[in-house]
């Protein structure tokens, strides 16, 4: 039987939740077929930590840098200035290990206290994507219309990216799929008993617009729900996606790996 190999495009493996067994987590991921793991940052501290961690595992872990909307506070300008200094300049001769700007976006779920600051911080990081040609890893919660309005301003100049943790309906999917160079990140919610995602994705989203993710240590898929999520569990997302689209797991691997290569330029 052919061994499946696929990519977890969104995992917070730098988090303290993995401090005691990170090596074992990666070993389990490899054993489960995870060929590569992409790590998003949420602020300056995690951006630096992720870069250092990925330097230890250059063939397996791939770093992003950025300021998460929930981390946008009164010091957001200072944070962005420091993070931008890490980014490669267009004139840099040596390739940068950084694969994307992320995790960035808008989140008005808990509070709109820093709404204007979030909008400005997100738009600035969208401009970084245009300048550096690095794709975006976008987090969006209760702010899709505002997020889409900003992306539209730069749509023709952006290299692409991922709308991370897509959990919306068919109409919301269509609104995002208008940005042809972007794909939807699908994770553990797909497996939840009351989730409408299997039906809505199959009805409205072509397989060439989806990438796999865990968002570990959060949102573990069924049958691991309630436990700490980890990259090895992306296999359950893959299995549910194959069922939803009535295709083989091999086909999900092939297509999602192709999609990753198209967005990030990284081959599994």
pLDDT tens digits along 164-209: 999 999 999 999 999 999 999 999 999 999 999 999 999 999 999 9
Pick left, alpha or beta for residue 154 (phi over 0 → left; psi -120 to 50 → alpha; otherwise beta). Answer: alpha
The per-residue pLDDT for range 78-125, each reduced to its tens digit, is 999 999 999 987 666 567 899 999 999 999 998 888 999 999 999 999
Rounded mean pLDDT of 113-140? 96
Q: Which domain holds residue 231?
A: 6-264
The per-residue pLDDT for range 203-261, each reduced to its tens digit, is 999 999 999 999 999 999 999 999 999 999 999 999 999 999 999 999 999 999 999 99
> 19 in a domain, yes or no?
yes
**Closest CA relative to residue 40, chosen from 29, 54, 59:** 54
The per-residue pLDDT for range 7-45, each reduced to its tens digit, is 999 999 999 999 999 999 999 999 999 999 999 999 999
Say if residues 60 and 26 touch (Cβ distance below 8 Å). Answer: yes
CATH number of the domain to which 115 belongs: 3.20.20.140
> 1 in a domain, yes or no?
no
Q: What percent of the chain has pLDDT over 70?
A: 97
> 31 in a domain, yes or no?
yes
Instruction: Give me the number of domains the chain comprises.
Output: 1
Say if residues 142 and 109 touch (Cβ distance below 8 Å). Answer: yes
Query: Hey, what are 105's tokens?
Result: 């976006």
CA distance 151 to 119: 11
> 247 in a domain, yes or no?
yes
Tokens 């206290």 belong to residue: 113
Could you tell me how many residues make up the chain?
268
CA distance 106 to 230: 25
Any alpha helices (H) in 68-226, and if so which ranges? Answer: 76-86, 115-132, 144-154, 170-177, 197-204
Coil vs helix vs strand at 206:
coil
DSSP code of residue 11: B
Rounded mean pLDDT of 68-83? 96
Longest CA–CA separation in the chain, Å: 55
Which helix (H) or strand (E) segment is 64 a member of?
strand 61-65
pTM (global) more than 0.85: yes
* DSSP string across 35-85: EEEEE--SSHHHHHHHHHHHHHTTTTEEEEE---GGG--TTHHHHHHHHHH
Through-space distance between the first and last CA atoms of the chain, rounded to whole angstroms: 19
CA distance 126 to 147: 11
């Amino acid at each position: 039987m052919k061994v499946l190999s696929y990519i977890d495009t969104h995992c917070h493996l730098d988090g303290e939740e993995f401090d005691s067994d990170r090596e074992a987590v990666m070993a389990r991921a490899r054993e489960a077929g995870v060929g590569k793991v992409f790590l998003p940052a949420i602020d300056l501290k995690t951006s630096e930590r992720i870069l250092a961690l990925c330097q230890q595992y250059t063939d397996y872990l791939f770093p992003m840098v950025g300021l998460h909307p929930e981390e946008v506070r009164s010091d957001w300008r200072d944070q962005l200035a420091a993070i931008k200094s890490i980014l490669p300049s267009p004139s840099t001769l040596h390739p940068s290990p950084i694969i994307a700007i992320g995790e960035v976006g808008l989140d008005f779920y808990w509070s709109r206290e820093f709404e204007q600051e979030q909008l400005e911080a997100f738009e600035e990081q969208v401009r970084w994507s245009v300048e550096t040609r690095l794709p975006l890893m976008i987090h969006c919660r209760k702010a899709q219309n505002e997020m889409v309005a900003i992306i539209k301003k730069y749509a023709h100049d952006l290299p692409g990216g991922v709308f991370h943790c897509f959990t919306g309906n068919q109409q919301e999917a269509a609104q995002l799929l208008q940005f042809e160079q972007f794909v939807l990140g699908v994770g553990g919610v797909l497996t939840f008993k009351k989730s409408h995602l299997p039906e809505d994705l199959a009805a409205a989203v072509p397989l060439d617009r989806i990438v796999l993710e865990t968002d570990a240590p959060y949102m573990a898929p069924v049958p691991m729900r309630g436990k700490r999520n980890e990259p090895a569990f992306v296999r359950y997302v893959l299995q549910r996606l194959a069922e939803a689209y009535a295709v083989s797991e091999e086909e999900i691997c092939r297509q999602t790996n192709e999609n990753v290569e198209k967005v990030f330029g990284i081959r599994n």
